[in-house]
Structure 1
Amino acid sequence: MALALCLAALLPLPASAADLLQVYREAQSNDAQFASARAQLAASQERLPQGRAGLLPQINGVAGVTRTKIDQSAPIDANRFLNNKNWALQLTQPLFRWDRWETYKQGELAALAGEVTFSQAQLDLITRTAQAYFDVLAAQDNLYLAGAQKRAIAEQLEQAKRNFEVGTATITDTNDAQARYDLAVSTEIAAQNELEVRRATLQQITGRPVDELMGLRPAADIPGPQPADVNLWAQQAEQTNPQVSLARYNLETAQREYNKARAGHLPSVDLVASYGYQDSSGLIQQQVNVASRYNSAQIGVQLTIPIYAGGQIQSRARETLALADRAASDLEFARRTAAQNARQTFSGVSNGLAQVRALEAAERSAQTAVESNRLGYEVGVRINIDVLNAEAQLFSTRRDLARARYDTIMNGLRLKAATGSLSEDDLVQINTLLTLPPGSMYKLPEPPKAAAPGAKPARTAKRG
């Protein structure tokens, strides 16, 4: 077995095989959800200049042209008119507007929350891509194992037929092998369909088809959680989990919304300045023309004091206070959820590593059982169904082992995602474990060779 693994490690990779890092970078460029998150980040960053605008001067310009016609009952005065042209610029600089200050601080929080949301999208992209990648690997493993099992059963079927022809086995052995072979064909078809589905899911993320992926070395040393203390991971998740950070920003935003509602009772002070020009001309009496042109400038301070708004300000303050209480509860829930997720994923990694070691031992035992049963069948102390059962157990153990490895790796990624520390470097580390062509590790012991013509047939085992 060790020699087979060494030879498998030297096999060249398929030209089209992609590794996890390549697939992730394709996903960065082509995943629609990540592109949406990037656009949302750009939109949220605009909340800061929008909030700042309320504290900066506001300048407005107006211009107009009017003509006024005056009609009276006296016919001699029927054609009187007045033309007016004017323009003006007005500047308003807030001096004290507490609600606008709170809006500005909310804009800062919105920009920070947008960055946290984008960080969460990055973590989700890593975990979604890795999950889709390992789902494809698991489907590839199942297909390779189904094909190998079908070939092994086919060889056992042929041997059972030969033994029946020479009279050293009953028709029951042939029927058992035929039934197992038919089931193996069905399993292989289902595995092929599952692989196509998994590849389509990965293609949805990367935006392009991936025909072949690099597999995981069977003896790969899957890293465990560091530090190996679940409480430290839970504490870190309570502080640095993106959802906790987002809930914290939401709480501060709600508190500032409450302050802004209370500011409805406060006066506002603005600096107001204007400059304008007016040109008036016309006929106001018979043969009497008038013309007036002048510039005007004004500057002053305007104070506005709210007196009564029908109870709207008090109601708004009560509403925003209740929303702030809800945001505080949401923050506490986010902390507890992050800690719980960290504990669960930590347990998944620890138990997964133990399960991998147990299944590796089970694989070695199943491999030995296959060899023993084939040898026993050759010498007549085992029947065909014993060999088929041993092979089925070996393939089942290998499927469970491969799935356990992938699940353990994914739990390790999710553990770091729970603390917000997951990055591309973690994929680089995992990528070093992908060095074998898919399916190259799945080798069965060679079946016993058929007896040469004229040789003494093996003794048929007795059951009972």
Structure 2
Amino acid sequence: MIRFLFLLSVTFLVLFADSVLTMERAYELALTNHPGYRVEKFKTQAVEENVRQAQSRLFPKVDISASGGKYEYETYYNATETSEIYKTYSLSLTQPLYRPELWRAVDQMKKRYKTSTIELEKQAQQVGIDVIKTYLQMLKTQADIEKLHSQKELYDAKFRKSSDMIAMGLSNSVELIEAKVNKEKALSDLISKKREYQTLKNKLERLCKTPFDSIAPLKSNKILSISKEEWINRLQENKDIKIARLSKKAAEDEVAIRGYDHYPKADLSLGRSQNDTNDPVAHKYDNKAFVQLSFPIYQGGYTSSRVQEAVLLLNAAESNEELAHLQMQDKFEELWTQRESLHESIDVLKQALESSKLFLKSVQSGYEKGIKNQIDIMDAELKMKSIESELNIAYYDMMVNEVGLLDLTGQLLTTSSVEMS
């Protein structure tokens, strides 16, 4: 019993030990559990079945039938009434010979299946975007919390110093109240930022459907050094563009499929029927082999109207492709402008961070010489941490920007972007 309780306690500690979630693991869990991804996955599988259905219409159709029952009749040739159990059996085979609409329908369905697979990839990218942005936002919030924690410690120290100085008559109540206000404001900001972090943590847990205690920091702040021209060349892999392009081709197939209703059709039919009857002049069996031709002559304008409808839908698909190109270009220019601005900010913040480090060293040197105090050191450290935090946030913003570019070029899942964790 004691051993069992010990093993149970160890198992409990293992199961509930601190768990660290990486970005890559978060994406894997979200992709497994996200209902939107499952919806697109099932739709893709359904469209794959539609391809098989379209292909099956090109194959021979074989039917077998049987019927039986009581049959009463009177013939003119012998003027006698007959009552019998009548049975008949038939076997038929129909093979399409000239049905161009069936071949075109297979091509169309294959395009729709490819479109569905791209939509599935697009949904997977959207899940990745939600996870990565939430993950990076948590890292940004962690950086803010560290900065605000240092700020709180500084204002706490200043408040204590002001309290000591007012007791010695070296300060006044106004300075004490100001220090108290700064202290309480720093505490309020810290609490607010912690709540924001918890909200983001809850969101990531909902996406992954897995609880965790903390997230792993990124391995590096490495940004892909790709020129604007290279990004532009990759825009043709945009998922929306591919979907619009395939939708236009499927619309072209639909115009052709409906247009084939004006064409003649030919089918090969083979059949055999067996009759079990007492009628002396009835056929005992029938064997048939013939080619069936049909020529559409007039349908009241139905086929022409359907073709015109398909042409209008094709025009809409062409306009939709043009719209997708326009929206993609607008989004790219917006992301690239933001990227250039972030590059400039990062360069400036790097210089500011080096300056703050030099300033901290000079303050520490002044402290050793007795011309600076501990509050001055804490103030200098806070300035350095603030700039460092802003630099980290700028890096995170740059990563979010890069995620947007990778999503726009349809390469979010084919690069090592998720492997940053």
Q: TM-score range by the shorter chain?
A: 0.7 to 0.9
The match for 1:448 is: none
Question: Separation in 2 of the partners of 1:356 and 1:37?
Answer: 39
Q: 2:399 aligns with which of 409, 412, 421?
A: 409
Q: Which amino acid aligns with 1:341?
A: K
In the alignment, the residues of structure 2 paired with residue 184 and residue 266 of structure 1 have an alpha-carbon distance, to the nearest angstrom, of: 80
Closer/same/farther in 2, CA of residues 36 and 225 from structure 1, 3 Å limit:
farther
Partner residue, 1:101: 103
- Bigger Cα displacement from structure 2, 111-120 vs 321-330: 111-120
Q: Deviations over 1:161-206 (max 9, x none)?
A: 1122122222222211110111122212211221121112111221
2:54 to 51, 54, 58: 51
> CA–CA distance in 1 between the matches of 2:41 and 2:358?
54
Q: Secondary structure at the match of 1:88?
A: strand
Cα deviation, residue 408, structure 1: 0.2
Partner of 2:335: 345
Alpha-carbon distance, 1:395 to partner: 6.1
Q: Output the TM-score relative to the length of structure 1.
A: 0.76
Judge conservation of contact 2:162–2:171 (CA < 8 Å) in 1. Answer: yes
Q: 1:117 aligns with which of 119, 131, 134?
A: 119
Of 418-427 and 113-122, more deviation after overlay is shown by 418-427
Q: Partner residue of 1:215?
A: 217
In the alignment, does 2:131 pair up with 1:138?
no
Equivalent residue for 1:178, pick from 180, 203, 206: 180
Structure holding more helix per residue = 2
Q: Structure 1 residue 390: deviation in Å?
A: 7.4
CA-atom RMSD in angstroms: 3.2
Distance (whole Å) between structure 2 residues aligned to residue 337 and residue 270 of structure 1? 48
Between the aligned partners of 1:96 and 1:299, the Cα distance in structure 2 is: 17
Structure 2 residue ranges without an equivalent (≥5):
1-16, 75-79
Q: What residue identity is the alignment partner of 1:244?
A: I
Name the CA distance, whole Å, in 1 between partners of 2:207 and 2:348.
Answer: 34
Aligned equivalents of 1:358 and 1:39: distance in 2?
49
Cα 1:278–1:148 change in 2 (3 A) is: farther
Distance in 1, matches of 2:103 and 2:142, equals 58
Query: Which one of 230, 240, 245 corresponds to residue 243 of structure 1?
Result: 240
> Which residue in 2 is equivalent to 1:294?
284
2:261 paired with 1:258: no
Residue aligned with 1:155, SS: helix
Q: Give TM-score, length-normalised by structure 2.
A: 0.84
Match of 1:84 in 2: 86
Q: Give the residue type in structure 2 aligned to 1:277.
A: Q
1:232 is matched with which residue?
230
Tell me how far apart the structure 1 counterparts of residues 100 and 45 of structure 2 sit (CA, whole Å): 27
| 1: CA distance, partners of 2:137 / 2:154 | 25
> Of the candidates 25, 36, 44, which is equivalent to residue 41 of structure 1?
44
Closer/same/farther in 2, CA of residues 334 and 249 from structure 1, 3 Å limit: same
Who is 1:321 aligned against?
311
- Distance (whole Å) between structure 1 residues aligned to residue 223 and residue 378 of structure 2: 36
User: Residue 221 of structure 2 contacts residue 395 of structure 2 at CA under 8 Å; is this kept in 1?
Assistant: no
SS at match of 2:189: helix
Task: Give CA-to-partner distance per residue, 1:354-402, whole Å, 9 cap, x none.
Answer: 21222233345556667878979x98999x9x99997876665455333
Contact kept? 2:24, 2:419, Cα under 8 Å? no
Native 8 Å contact 2:23 2:419 kept in 1: no
Please list the CA deviations of residues 414-453 of structure 1 after superposition, one character each: whole Å capped at 9, or x if unmatched: 212222223364236523xxxxxxxxxxxxxxxxxxxxxx
Q: Which amino acid aligns with 1:191?
A: K
1:135 is matched by which residue type in structure 2? Q
Q: Tell me if the contact between 2:97 and 2:268 (Cα under 8 Å) persists in the aligned partners.
A: yes
CA contact (8 A) 2:26 2:131 kept: yes
Q: Distance in 1 between matches of 2:176 and 2:111?
A: 74
For 1:174 and 1:371, the matched residues in 2 are separated by 29
Letter in 2 for 1:148: S
Which residue does the alignment assign to 2:7? none
> Number of matched residues?
397
- The 8 Å contact of residues 349 and 409 in structure 1, kept in 2 or not, is answered as no
Other-structure match for 1:20: 23
- In 2, the alpha carbon distance for the partners of 1:187 and 1:28 equals 35
Q: 1:132–1:359: structure 2 CA closer, same or farther, 3 Å change rule?
A: same
Partner of 1:308: 298
What letter corresponds to residue 222 of structure 1 in structure 2? K
What are the ranges of 5 or more consecutive residues in structure 1 without an aligned counterpart? 1-13, 72-76, 283-289, 432-464
* Aligned-partner residue type, residue 27 of structure 2: Y
Q: Describe how 1:366-385 pairs up with structure 2 within 5 A.
A: none
- TM-superposed CA distance for 1:103, in Å, is 1.0
Residue in 1 aligned with 2:10? Answer: none
Q: Which residue type is aligned with residue 46 of structure 1?
A: E
Aligned equivalents of 2:346, 2:304: Cα separation in 1: 62
Distance 1:70 1:43 in 2: 51
What is the percentage of aligned positions where both structures have the same residue? 20
Equivalent residue for 1:126, pick from 125, 128, 141 = 128
